[in-house]
Amino acid sequence: MAIHPIEYRYNTEEMRKVWEADNKLQKMLEVEAALADAEAQLNIIPKEAADEIKSKASTKYVKSERVSEIEMQTHHDIASIVKALAEVCEGDAGEYVHFGATSNDIIDTSQSLLFKETISIIREKVVELTKTLLKLADDNKKTVCIGRTHGQHALPTTYGMKFAIWADELHRQIERLDECNKRICVGMLTGAVGTTAALGTDGLAVHNKVSEILGLRPVLISSQIVQRDVHAEFIMCLANIASTLEKMALEIRNLQRTEIDEIGESFDPKKQVGSSTMPHKRNPITGERICGISRVIRAYVAPALQNNPLWHERDLTNSSCERIILPESSMLTDYILKLSIKLFSNLVFHPENIEHNLNMTNGLIMAERFMAELTRKGAGKQTAYALVRNCSLEAYDKDVGLKEIVSSNSEIKKYLTEDDIEKIMDPHTYLGSSIQIVENVLKDSNEWF
């Protein structure tokens, strides 16, 4: 019976397949096959033995049950895989399995193959989400709404700006994934302390050939392991993505609050239930789940960084930790990416509330515009600021519109006509370069997709 919710609740099928035990075993067998192939090509072991090892290096022949059975006796995972593979090889081919390698050569190189698959899946979803946000940005670049700073109404902005900001951030996350891919997806066949001593003068040639066969870049130098700064970078990259997704989901959750209610998650009234006791509830459960799981992903950054400083050429303290944080951070990141795609592909807009909130302050949000226009008319920036600030405070205290106070201010009327004041009060026309900015993001995205 499943215990961890990642097994039955917080996962995607494609990422689960990457990190399940049989695929991890298969990847280790592929490294053993590549090692035998490389050694045969370099005339270190017989070609017939390498061919037999390659033909049997598959979970079709090497069963996880048998590996587990051997491990119960040996208490060593890689030694158990080596023995299980050797057992199914005919003739004396089994004698050549794992020649010149140490356990972590197999572990770290096979993990690189898992990272390669993981990054490919995550990158694909980040691209899909980015495209969704770009479409929302394009569709809403003229949808004027109130911008908020410190939780207070600030100035008009557009929903196009919100979505474009997030899309641009995801562009950078794609860049980070690609950079991380270059550093973490490496091959290593360098032996017990990184010197390739067991293979003598053929060591570096075998190391490079194994990586070539597997489509990996050979690590330049290692101890017994690939250095864990790159593994930490991978976890930090996932945590960074999770942080972006939480930022986006948090904003939607806030905008769905009853007092704001401008946009929100879709809700199926025929099937969906918001509360077991309050029949009226429509809770932002998708966004809340994204935010909650994001905290777990980010929490793995600390142990990932702690896995880098090890004793001398290597100790085992990183191993047990990585068995948890690598698959879980990968699966959870992929899962909340899937949720984010669902959330932003089905957003519900409430235009009447967007407009209502835009005008909620009775024009106070246009104070900056008044100050700027007075300055342009010759009042001077400091003088203009003081004038408009006094008018704003008066409007706030009397609970009347800013337009009413400004229109009756004799100092302001020296610079602005009634017609000027009327035009200044329209929040839909105080958007600066926002439309062009959004279009610049859309144009820049053409270089990505």
Query: Angle of helix 64-74 relative to helix 77-88, nearest 10 degrees?
Result: 130
Contacts of 338 (CB under 8 A, 6+ apart): 12, 125
Q: Is 330 a catalytic residue?
A: no
Report the phi/psi class of residue 191: left, alpha or beta, with left for phi > 0 and alpha for psi in -120 to 50.
left
CA pair distance 28, 84, nearest whole angstrom: 12
CA pair distance 407, 391, nearest whole angstrom: 10
Q: Is 275 a catalytic residue?
A: yes
How far is C-alpha 48 from the chain's CA centre?
A: 45
| DSSP secondary structure string for all residues of 358-424 | HTTTTTGGGHHHHHHHHHHTTS-HHHHHHHHHHHHHHHHHHT--HHHHHHT-HHHHTT--HHHHHHH
User: Please, which contacts does 348-356 make with residues 24 or more away whose CB atoms are closer than 8 Å?
Assistant: 348/263, 348/264, 348/265, 348/266, 348/267, 349/143, 349/159, 349/262, 349/263, 350/261, 350/262, 350/263, 350/264, 351/143, 353/260, 353/261, 353/262, 354/143, 354/144, 354/145, 354/159, 354/262, 354/263
The phi and psi torsions of 90 (rounded to 5 degrees) equal -85, 160
Cβ–Cβ under 8 Å, residues 40 and 47: yes
Cβ–Cβ under 8 Å, residues 165 and 137: no
User: Please, which contacts does 213-217 make with residues 24 or more away whose CB atoms are closer than 8 Å?
Assistant: 213/34, 213/37, 213/38, 214/30, 214/31, 214/34, 214/109, 214/112, 214/113, 214/187, 215/116, 216/109, 216/112, 216/113, 216/116, 216/185, 216/186, 216/187, 217/182, 217/185, 217/186, 217/187
Q: Which of the following is catalytic: 68, 120, 275, 345?
A: 275
CA pair distance 21, 34, nearest whole angstrom: 20
> What is the residue type of 253?
R
Helix (H) or strand (E) holding 144: strand 144-149
Cα distances (Å, whole numbers) of residue 107 to 98, 103, 104, 234: 12, 6, 5, 17
Active site residues: 150, 275
